[in-house]
Amino acid sequence: MTLNSREAILAAARLRVQAHGYGGLSFRDLAAEVGIKAPSIFHHFANKAELGAAVARRYREDAAAALAALAEEGPDARASLARYPATFRGALENGNRLCLASVMAAELADLPPPVQAEVRDFAAMNIAWLAGRIAAAGLAAPEGAGPRARAVFAAVAGAQLLARGGGGVAAFDAVVDSYRAAGLIPS
Amino acid sequence: MTLNSREAILAAARLRVQAHGYGGLSFRDLAAEVGIKAPSIFHHFANKAELGAAVARRYREDAAAALAALAEEGPDARASLARYPATFRGALENGNRLCLASVMAAELADLPPPVQAEVRDFAAMNIAWLAGRIAAAGLAAPEGAGPRARAVFAAVAGAQLLARGGGGVAAFDAVVDSYRAAGLIPS
DNA sequence: GTCTTCCTACCTAACGTTAGGTAGGGTGGA
DNA sequence: TCCACCCTACCTAACGTTAGGTAGGAAGAC
């Protein structure tokens, strides 16, 4: 149960941050969900900042793996780009949550520096993946792939934010469809 | 000083929420900034929820006035649409803040219902304005103006979120330029 | 085999701090 | 006089965190 506890804490903390933010993550509530007491969390993580950084790091690693899998599914860069928004859809379906990095970006100034760094790394990783696929798909000139990648990332994150405010997955899908219609994302 | 205190509280609270979120708004810090003591705030607002709702309502009213002014500046709907993102730029310039509604959307689940309602109203107001201008500009079919308006609102909010994470106003401008290049927003 | 030692994993109790909120009093202008 | 405004003093609940301790297992020496 030792390794499982650490993993259980990480998983539960991720969901709680996605729903309530880093500031809304309480050790007592988190521990209760895992089935231990709050101080026992300190056996696995030195403090809240370290837990937050670990959650964000794991989130980035999982996303990187998912994107790598998406790219390896087929050689068609346009097709994998078209499926990129779907990686953000899941959070909305799962209790109207947001991308971890979006929630944390909203409270960025109050985040411990190590957590801030993880948030930036997540964005950089997504943008790098998008830029690679955009370049491979010939969707933009080589020097324009980076800016375009940032635009796609921002637009999809914004769609998720709007959908949480009202409309849910249906609103998210409609906004993404508009992006496709405008040519921001390939169909 | 009575009316001024209320206004000073509203203004300071708005800036603090834009920087730290509703959860990060503390009566003690807020009062200190205004130059009074924390319990004196309760003379102007019954509780935190009412203060939050008042801040959000005022924010929406101010934004509505700014958008109305933008629309009245000239009859060219395309031109006023092109200047829409600028209304979001100011927050970033002012201490790397976000749109009040974006910050609050990130912590929506923990907001008192009246505050949630104000956040939704702000989004609806923006979308209605955009839909009107999009229809007037002939940028989309009449039945497509609403979805397109939601896409523009989401995209601009996302650009602001990305810019806060890193890059600031320059990143915001670059992303908006990409939106223009893709045809999501008129130049 | 068993005794000692050290470990992991978790506990209870309490720390200092901060949160929103309340009670009741003083003061100044209409 | 009275009421708006702001004060001091205080409350309870919750926060992250620390101290100190217990249960149980692995490992080495004899």
B112-133: pLDDT as tens digits: 999 999 999 999 999 999 999 9
Q: Looking at residues A58-75, what average pLDDT do you find?
A: 94
What is the token pair recorded at A157? Answer: 């994150």
Residue A1 above 50 pLDDT?
A: no
pLDDT tens digit sequence for A15-46: 999 999 999 999 999 999 999 999 999 999 99
| Smallest CA–C1' separation from A31, nucleotide | C10
Q: What is the mean pLDDT of residues A142-160?
A: 96
Q: Which nucleotide is nearest to A42 (CA to C1')?
A: D17
Q: How far apart are CA B159 and CA B168, in angstroms?
A: 10
Q: Which residue of chain A is at minimal alpha-carbon distance from B158?
A: A158
Q: CB–CB of B159 and A154 under 8 A?
A: yes
CB A151 within 8 A of CB B178: yes
pLDDT at A103 over 70: yes
For residue A3, the model assigns a pLDDT of: 56
Residue B1 has pLDDT above 50, yes or no: no
- Residue matched to tokens 């079919």: B141
Please name which of A140, A160, A115, A86 lies closest in space to residue A13, comparing C-alpha atoms.
A115
Q: How far is A2 from chain B (nearest CA, A)?
A: 32
On whether any CB of chain B is under 8 Å from the CB of A23, the answer is: yes
**Spatial separation of the C-alpha atoms in residues B54 and B42, rounded to whole Å:** 13
Going by pLDDT thresholds of 50, 70 and 90, the confidence category of residue B84 is very high
pLDDT digits (tens, 9 = 90+) for B39-67: 999 999 999 999 999 999 999 999 999 99
**What band does A2 get if pLDDT is binned at 50, 70 and 90?**
very low
Q: How far is residue B13 from each of residues B19, B33, B65, measured CA to CA in Å? A: 10, 9, 20
Rounded to whole angstroms, the distance from the CA of residue B33 to the C1' of nucleotide C23 is 25
Read off the pLDDT band of B3 (50, 70, 90). low
CB-CB under 8 Å, B155 with A21: no
In this complex, the residue of A98, A161, A184 whose CB is nearest that of residue B184 is A184
pLDDT digits (tens, 9 = 90+) for B135-158: 999 998 889 999 999 999 999 999
Q: Which residues of chain B make contact with A154, given a CB cutoff of 8 A?
A: 155, 158-159, 161-162, 175
Partners of residue B150 in chain A, C-beta under 8 Å: 162, 171, 174-175, 178
Alpha carbon of A125 to those of A44, A57, A97: distances in Å?
27, 12, 21
Is A55's Cβ below 8 Å from some Cβ in B?
Answer: no
Residue B112: φ, ψ to 5°: -60, 140
Q: Does domain A55-182 have CATH number 1.10.357.10?
A: yes
Does A113 reach chain B within 8 Å, measured CB to CB? no
Q: Tens digits of per-residue pLDDT, A170-185? A: 999 999 999 999 999 9
Identify the pLDDT of residue A142: 87
Instruction: Report the predicted TM-score, pTM, of the whole model to 2 decimal places.
Output: 0.94
Better-predicted residue by pLDDT, A98 or B5: A98
Q: Kindly report the average pLDDT of chain A as a whole number.
A: 94
Q: Which residues of A touch B107 (CB under 8 A)?
A: 20-21, 24, 103, 106-107
Long-range contacts (CB closer than 8 Å, 24 or more residues apart) made by B10-18: B10/B54, B10/B55, B10/B58, B13/B51, B13/B52, B13/B55, B14/B55, B14/B58, B14/B59, B14/B100, B15/B94, B15/B95, B15/B97, B17/B52, B17/B55, B17/B100, B17/B103, B17/B104, B18/B91, B18/B97, B18/B98, B18/B99, B18/B100, B18/B103
